[in-house]
Amino acid sequence: MRTFTGIAASPGIAIGRAILLRAGAYPVERQEIQPGQEEAELARFTATLAVTREELSRLYETARRRVGEAEAGIFEAHRLMVEDPEVLKAVTRRIREERLAAEYAMSEVMEGQARALEALPGEYLRERAQDVRDVKERLLSHLICPAEEPLPVGSGPMGGPVGEPVGGKPGMDAVDFPPILVAAEVKPSDVLPAGIGALGGLAVGRGGRASHAAILAAALGIPAVVGLGMFAEEVSPGALMVVDGMSGVVVLDPDAGTLASYQEKAAAHRAKARELATLAKLPAVTRDGNRITLKANLSNPAEVDAALAAGAEGVGLFRTEFLFMDRPAPPSEEEQFQTYRRVAEAMAGRMVYIRTADIGGDKPLPYLDLPPEDNPFLGLRGLRLSLARPDMFKAQLRAILQAAAHGNLAIMLPMVTEVGEVRAAKVEVDAARRELLSEGRTVPPVPVGIMVEVPAAALAADQLAAEVDFFSIGTNDLTQYTLAVDRGNEAVARLYRSDHPAVLTLITSVVRVGAERGIPVSVCGEMAGAPELAATLVRLGVRELSMSPGRLNLVKQAILTLEV
């Protein structure tokens, strides 16, 4: 048994088996088969293709139901790769003519495909090489450890298969123990497809609490520990492990006593969650009578139900950029319209802040083919990118304006630095509105607000107030930019404090400007979802907080006992 300490990134306790998100998790040696074994080997390979195809279809269906068509598309693409007749032909030839074992023949063929894609120009194709390798690992895992029963959906890398169990204990299997994704580094786009299946937890080498992958894990209710350094190197596929997303501890190969104590902790955590759920219908009021509005941060319409069940009074941040990821081109205006409309309708008149795509920083989009930046967090990110890509921005604005007819929507602009950018964005909003009206469509009035997440915006809040309908303080970035501490770098995580006096001074000043100018001020960074920090915000005068749905009642519990 070994214990590792990282950064607690998403609460809950996961006890499960490791699956590794890294190339070569299933090493393959060249292996030849006996003469006369060719047809049996081929049958073994085609049976694996069938199992994998079925698994990918199930993953696609689950993904489509839980997070939507766009995110599910990755599994459909992978299924098509499994069905590629060229792969079958090439592997068949190598098994029959060269008498190679299926594992080696298939690995060679798919690796060849991946290398060919990598040699082509464009980042999108290079990323597809990674998809080919994901499919290869999935096929390999089925070849190496064929399951009698179908494997649980979403139980492996990118929702893929479970690795060969190592250090297993009698009576314990992948069904008793959900898969825990172990990786040196994850992008938000890795967590999305992995998170929609039965993923139990996440243990990652890199990243801080406010990295987007961690935020997404919290949104999906997956216990996570990040900033574990070289941990992934120590783990074998299938190893039993515990992820404690409250204390930031990960235990590898726990002994029986440790396992039992974590099982108790997990049960206590579930009991606490049930107790908190009873608060969902109560209004959040401090003991001295301050009414606090609690809203949800979402990145997908499929999360609306969980938000409403937890008592969300609106959506204080809908992160649209996740719609733009894991695909070869941006979503069409129609697809965006349908997505925003679903959220607007489901929230039934409650206010929804739709944030225009916050692309860039740690959320690059390969298909934009932008030149690499030395400092992406200080580069073409958020509104800066939208203004540089007017066509993409126009489609998004048209989609939001049309969806506004189906509920109560507002436009929120990310990464605002100066007044000129807001004015330029409003010109685009007006142009989109005029276009729609000239096409005979109805467009209700839609408020336009900004994220205050760059220190310059907080310091110039007075000027910005003249241009906007609301402020939402993004403390994740405000903290990173004020303190010059990368939000995703575990090496400086100790310095990343949203309650640093400098950050609190900026928040106080924005709240003051909001009060003076009659502009609503909310906070939608992770700070709002941490009970003690939320209490600090309320003491500073913030009356609206937006957070992952899973945190709403935890924060409400703190507010109910708070005296300002």
Say if residue 445 is exposed, middle or buried (CB neighbours under 10 Å; 0-12, 13-18, 19+).
exposed
Residue among 525, 529, 549, 550 that touches ligand PEP (CB under 6 A)? 525
The reply to whether 524 belongs to the active site is yes
380, 21, 404: which is closest to 185 by C-alpha?
21
Residues in binding contact with ligand PEP, number by CB under 6 A: 11
Radius of gyration of the chain (CA): 25
Say if residue 229 is exposed, middle or buried (CB neighbours under 10 Å; 0-12, 13-18, 19+).
middle
Residue 475 binding target from ligand PEP, Mg ion, none, CB below 5 to 8 Å by type: ligand PEP
- Whichever of 311 and 474 has its CB closer to Mg ion, that residue is 474
Q: Please, what is the minimum distance in Å from the beta carbon of residue 450 to Mg ion? A: 11
- Whichever of 80 and 502 has its CB closer to Mg ion, that residue is 502
Contact 237, 19 (CB under 8 A): yes
- Among positions 35-64, residues that touch ligand PEP (CB under 6 A) are none
Residue among 226, 292, 317, 383 that touches ligand PEP (CB under 6 A)? 317
* HEC per residue, 376-390: HHHCCCCHHHHHHCH
Q: For residues 200 and 166, give the distance between their C-alpha atoms in angstroms, rounded to a whole number.
A: 18
- According to DSSP, the β-strands at 291-298 and 544-547 are parallel
Q: Please, what is the minimum distance in Å from the beta carbon of residue 523 to ligand PEP? A: 8
Residue type, 158: M
CA distances from 317 to 105, 323, 343, 452 (A): 48, 14, 12, 13
Residue in the structure block whose two tokens are 């070849």 = 143
Q: Please, what is the minimum distance in Å from the beta carbon of residue 390 to Mg ion? A: 22
Residue 524 binding target from Mg ion, ligand PEP, none, CB below 5 to 8 Å by type: ligand PEP
Q: Please, what is the minimum distance in Å from the beta carbon of residue 208 to ligand PEP? A: 12
Q: Please, what is the minimum distance in Å from the beta carbon of residue 298 to ligand PEP? A: 11
Residues in binding contact with Mg ion, number by CB under 5 A: 3
Q: Please, what is the minimum distance in Å from the beta carbon of residue 410 to ligand PEP? A: 15
Residue among 103, 303, 313, 477 that touches ligand PEP (CB under 6 A)? 477
Does 249 bind ligand PEP (CB under 6 A)? Our answer is no
Q: Which segment (87-95, 108-116, 399-407, 448-456) binds Mg ion by CB under 5 A?
A: 448-456
Q: Please, what is the minimum distance in Å from the beta carbon of residue 316 to ligand PEP? A: 9
Residue among 205, 301, 474, 550 that touches ligand PEP (CB under 6 A)? 474
Structure tokens that stand for 128 in this block: 């597809």
Residues in a beta bridge with 16: 241
Contact 95, 108 (CB under 8 A): no
Residue among 21, 524, 534, 559 that touches ligand PEP (CB under 6 A)? 524
- Active-site hit among 145, 212, 269, 406: 212
DSSP letter at 26 equals S
Residue among 453, 486, 490, 544 that touches ligand PEP (CB under 6 A)? 453
Residue among 244, 453, 486, 526 that touches Mg ion (CB under 5 A)? 453
Does 474 bind Mg ion (CB under 5 A)? Our answer is yes
Q: Following DSSP, what letter does each residue of 469-508 receive, concatenated? A: S-EEE-HHHHHHHHHT--TT-GGGGGG--TTSHHHHHHHH
The reply to whether 212 belongs to the active site is yes
Contact 49, 109 (CB under 8 A): no
- Among positions 336-365, residues that touch ligand PEP (CB under 6 A) are 358
Q: What is the SS3 assignment for 239?
A: coil
Q: For residues 218 and 550, give the distance between their C-alpha atoms in angstroms, rounded to a whole number.
A: 7
Residue among 155, 475, 522, 548 that touches ligand PEP (CB under 6 A)? 475
- Please name the helix (run of DSSP H) or strand (run of DSSP E) that holds residue 463, with its range, or none: helix 461-465
- Whichever of 220 and 235 has its CB closer to ligand PEP, that residue is 220
- Among positions 477-506, residues that touch Mg ion (CB under 5 A) are 477
- Among positions 372-431, residues that touch ligand PEP (CB under 6 A) are none
- Whichever of 139 and 457 has its CB closer to ligand PEP, that residue is 457
- Please name the helix (run of DSSP H) or strand (run of DSSP E) that holds residue 242, with its range, or none: strand 240-244
Q: Any idea how long the chain is?
A: 564
Q: For residues 508 and 525, give the distance between their C-alpha atoms in angstroms, rounded to a whole number.
A: 15
- Whichever of 205 and 474 has its CB closer to ligand PEP, that residue is 474
- Please name the helix (run of DSSP H) or strand (run of DSSP E) that holds residue 183, with its range, or none: strand 179-183
Residues forming the site for ligand PEP (CB under 6 A): 215, 317, 319, 358, 453, 474-477, 524-525
Active-site positions read 212, 524
Residues forming the site for Mg ion (CB under 5 A): 453, 474, 477
